[in-house]
Amino acid sequence: MTFRALPGFRDFAPDDLTFRAHIFGAWRRVAKRYGFEEYDGPPLEPLELYTAKSGDEIVNQLYAFTDKGGRQVALRPEMTPTLARMVAEHANGLKKPIRWFSIPQLFRYERQQRGRLREHFQLNCDLIGEAGPLADAELIALSIDVLRELGLTSADFKVRLSDRRLLDGILAALEILPEHRALLKQALDKLGRSEYAARKQSFLDAAGGDRAAALELVEGLREKRTWAELASALAAYPTAVEAGQPLQQAVEALTAMGLADFIELDLSIVRGIAYYTGTVFELFDAKRTLRAICGGGRYDTLLANLGGVDLPALGFGMGDVVLGELLKERGLHPESHPTIDVFVASVTPEDQPFVLSIAHQLRDAGLQVEFAFHSSGLGKQLKVADARGARLAVVVGPDDRARGEVQLKDLAAKTQVGVSLGALATTCRDLLSRNS
């Protein structure tokens, strides 16, 4: 029988795992640079944790089942409900604002397409307990700096930024009834996609065809790239401009950080998830050929609804699939080659016990060491050392052993010196640090 990974799931051979570790490393470095602490939770949660947040319709998108204890459970499709549960449990003992990040593996049973699989890893960063716009700017800056850490620039990606409070202010000024606003937002969320026409028609059918002008106004605001341009276009709606003050302050903070080149104001960004209450943003590649790299926003009521803790909060999720595609497109995929520090080779079969002893001593000293499992000529062993990317080779032979020495080869510099066994580990470390 031939077995393959399930559809939408990935194997990670060493080269692939090296790339994943490269992404995870950047995620962790930048999150910690911003003072965020790493947490994790179980990959299996009660199904109700997700239906309470998203409704029963989400069940069709989950890996959900009844466990042997008769409990309805699901593999986690997102991390926010787990976060809400954990924060609610420990809220009284946590210093505010809470800065937490996690790198969970998430699972959704949905149709595969480019940039979307049935499992992926995701950087989740959440800032809890701060309602002001500087927190919004802080989180957006973190998402930008993660991509900068990986070598991407403002020519490679943009942050499309909006605020639901501003959009609601505009819709109120345009006299769009509250029951019709959700339909308009659903249409905006599909702007630029094939589904847009049908969603737009649903809004017009419900709100009346005379509301087309309202939708056209909001569509036109996509072209306003600065707060000044946006405020000028909304001059006739001062209450809407006032509702956008938190967004203005967040943009000004990002500008002060030197990140203005990454920001594009776009009021069509609403995020499809209903729990967002304020600032919302998505990161896209500059050519817009890929799905969103990252998305998030402010969700000030979610923790109260899910965990019973009334704390303002905001967060984002950044998946590894689309990000990995963008890095490969830009030639930022790190090359993976097998590398070890030292290869220990023998001159004669009688040297093998000494090879084992030396290899273990060097490993105890923290070095990456290999040796040949089978006796062969020295030249053949050194070819193996080269294939394994060894930087140094230790050659053990009868004559050197009699003097309490080995021959140490620097394979890059093509030099060789005799080194006493007592000084071998230190000499190897010195050479390796000098050549790193």
**Domain of residue 425, CATH code:** 3.40.50.800
Q: Is residue 7, in this structure, part of any structural domain at all?
A: no
- As a whole number of angstroms, the distance between CA 239 and CA 166 comes to 9
Q: At what angle do helices 178-189 and 196-207 cross, to 10 degrees?
A: 170
Q: Which two tokens stand for residue 149?
A: 């850490």
Q: Return the closest-CA partner of residue 40 out of 89, 74, 82.
A: 82
Tens digit of each residue's pLDDT, the chain (436 residues): 788 999 999 999 999 999 999 999 999 999 999 999 999 999 999 999 988 877 778 899 999 999 999 999 999 999 999 999 999 888 888 999 999 999 999 999 988 888 889 999 999 999 999 999 999 999 999 999 999 999 999 999 999 999 999 988 888 888 888 888 888 787 877 777 778 888 888 888 887 766 777 777 777 777 667 888 888 888 888 998 999 999 999 999 999 999 999 999 988 888 866 788 999 999 999 988 999 999 999 999 988 887 788 999 999 999 999 999 999 999 998 877 778 999 999 999 999 999 999 999 999 999 999 999 998 999 999 999 999 999 999 999 999 999 999 999 999 999 999 999 999 999 999 999 987 6
Residue 142: its pLDDT value, please? 98
- Structural contact between residues 62 and 74, judged by C-beta atoms closer than 8 angstroms: yes
- As a whole number of angstroms, the distance between CA 136 and CA 52 comes to 26
Residue 414: its pLDDT value, please? 93
Instruction: Supply the DSSP string of 106-147, one letter for each residue.
Output: EE-----BTTB-SEEEEEEEEEES--SHHHHHHHHHHHHHHH
pTM for the model: 0.89
Query: Is residue 111 located within the same domain as residue 168?
Result: yes
The strand ranges marked E within 155-308 are: 157-163, 263-265, 279-285, 294-298
Query: Is residue 424 located within the same domain as residue 299?
Result: no
From the CB of residue 4, how many other CB atoms can be counted at a distance below 10 Å? 7
State which amino acid sits at residue 303.
L
- As a whole number of angstroms, the distance between CA 393 and CA 369 comes to 10
Query: Is residue 349 located within the same domain as residue 284?
Result: no
Q: Is residue 151, in this structure, part of any structural domain at all?
A: yes
Query: Is residue 273 located within the same domain as residue 377?
Result: no
Query: Is residue 34 located within the same domain as residue 72?
Result: yes
Residue 273: its pLDDT value, please? 67
Can you name the residues that pair with 416 across neighbouring β-strands?
409
Helix, strand, or coil (residue 342): strand
Q: Return the closest-CA partner of residue 99 out of 138, 45, 150.
A: 138
- As a whole number of angstroms, the distance between CA 59 and CA 50 comes to 8
From the CB of residue 219, how many other CB atoms can be counted at a distance below 10 Å? 16
Q: Is residue 253, in this structure, part of any structural domain at all?
A: yes
- As a whole number of angstroms, the distance between CA 232 and CA 238 comes to 10
Q: Is residue 337, in this structure, part of any structural domain at all?
A: no
Domain limits for position 366: 342-435
Q: Where does a domain end: 329, 350, 382?
A: 329
Query: Is residue 271 located within the same domain as residue 364?
Result: no
| Secondary element (H or E) of residue 326 | helix 320-329
Number of domains in the chain: 2
| Secondary element (H or E) of residue 358 | helix 352-364
Q: Is residue 8, in this structure, part of any structural domain at all?
A: no
Enumerate the H helices of 190-301 as residue ranges: 196-207, 212-220, 227-233, 238-243, 245-256
Query: Is residue 84 located within the same domain as residue 218?
Result: yes
- Structural contact between residues 326 and 283, judged by C-beta atoms closer than 8 angstroms: no
Residue 217: its pLDDT value, please? 77
Query: Is residue 323 located within the same domain as residue 352?
Result: no
Query: Is residue 233 located within the same domain as residue 376?
Result: no
Residue 90: its pLDDT value, please? 87
- Structural contact between residues 417 and 407, judged by C-beta atoms closer than 8 angstroms: yes
Residue 375: its pLDDT value, please? 85
Residue 253: its pLDDT value, please? 97
Distances (CA, A) of 59 to 122, 274, 320, 363, 414: 21, 17, 24, 50, 63
Query: Is residue 124 located within the same domain as residue 249?
Result: yes
Q: Is residue 2, in this structure, part of any structural domain at all?
A: no
Q: Where does a domain end: 278, 306, 329?
A: 329
Q: Is residue 294, in this structure, part of any structural domain at all?
A: yes
